[in-house]
């Protein structure tokens, strides 16, 4: 059984969304973390992540951590869901590139933007937005007409940084398409710890 160790309003929220898109059975295990703003209860002994962060995914005796790794692992294992191009598929390279780029380049570019004065957008942030806009010119999703786990990962990143995004154009239209997906809405309903 898949178990996602999850903290509300964190990087693991997009993994809930991915699980909902995949339609596979899973259980949520809520854990506490220290958020970047200093809030939260800190490390949770029940969290199997080596750094006590989220996401952490347990698949029976297999532990997978780090967002891109968890997304790759899940999408590759979900037969028939179609959210990961298979090895040999012409879209596989672009797909893996997006998964890595979102975590390794886009996230840090957003971090640099958050740390810069309001009127001084770092060049890396502007270049990152331009790259996303160029990709969206070819279709509604990062792989053109093909929705993938990369869109879930990108949507999760855009969602927490929405205040930094342009107010019109391809990126907000893309984010609107993503948030209208039924799996996204189910995931948002499961994000918070049940009362």
List, in order, residues 6 or more apart from 143 with CB less than 8 Å away: 85, 91, 94, 95, 98, 150, 151
pTM of the entire predicted model: 0.94
* CATH 1.10.8.50 applies to domain 92-181: no
At 61-116, the pLDDT tens digits run 999 999 999 999 999 997 768 999 999 999 999 999 999 999 999 999 999 998 88
Cis peptide leading into residue 44 (ω within 30°): no
Options 3.40.30.10, 3.40.50.720, 3.40.50.300, 3.30.1360.120; CATH for 2-82+183-191 is 3.40.30.10
Q: What is the rounded CA–CA span in Å between residue 124 and residue 110?
A: 9
At 169-185, the pLDDT tens digits run 999 999 999 999 999 99
Q: What are the structural domain ranges in the chain? A: 2-82+183-191, 92-181
């Amino acid at each position: 059984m898949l178990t996602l160790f999850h903290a509300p309003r964190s990087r693991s929220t997009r993994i809930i969304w991915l699980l909902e898109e995949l339609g596979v059975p899973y259980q949520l295990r809520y854990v506490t973390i220290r958020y970047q703003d200093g809030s939260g209860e800190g490390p949770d002994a029940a969290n199997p992540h080596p750094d006590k962060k989220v996401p952490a995914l347990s698949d029976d005796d297999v532990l997978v951590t780090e967002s891109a790794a968890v997304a790759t692992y899940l999408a590759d294992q979900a037969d028939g869901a179609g959210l990961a191009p298979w090895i040999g598929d012409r879209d596989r390279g672009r797909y893996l590139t997006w998964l890595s780029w979102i975590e390794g380049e886009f996230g840090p570019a957003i971090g640099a933007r958050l740390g810069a004065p309001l009127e001084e957008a770092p060049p890396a942030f502007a270049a990152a937005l331009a790259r996303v806009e160029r990709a969206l010119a070819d279709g509604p999703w990062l792989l053109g007409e093909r929705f993938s786990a990369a869109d879930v990962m990108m949507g999760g990143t855009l969602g927490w940084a929405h205040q930094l995004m342009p107010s019109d154009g391809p990126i907000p239209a893309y984010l609107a398409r993503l948030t209208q997906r039924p799996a996204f809405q189910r995931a948002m309903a499961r994000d918070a710890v049940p009362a």
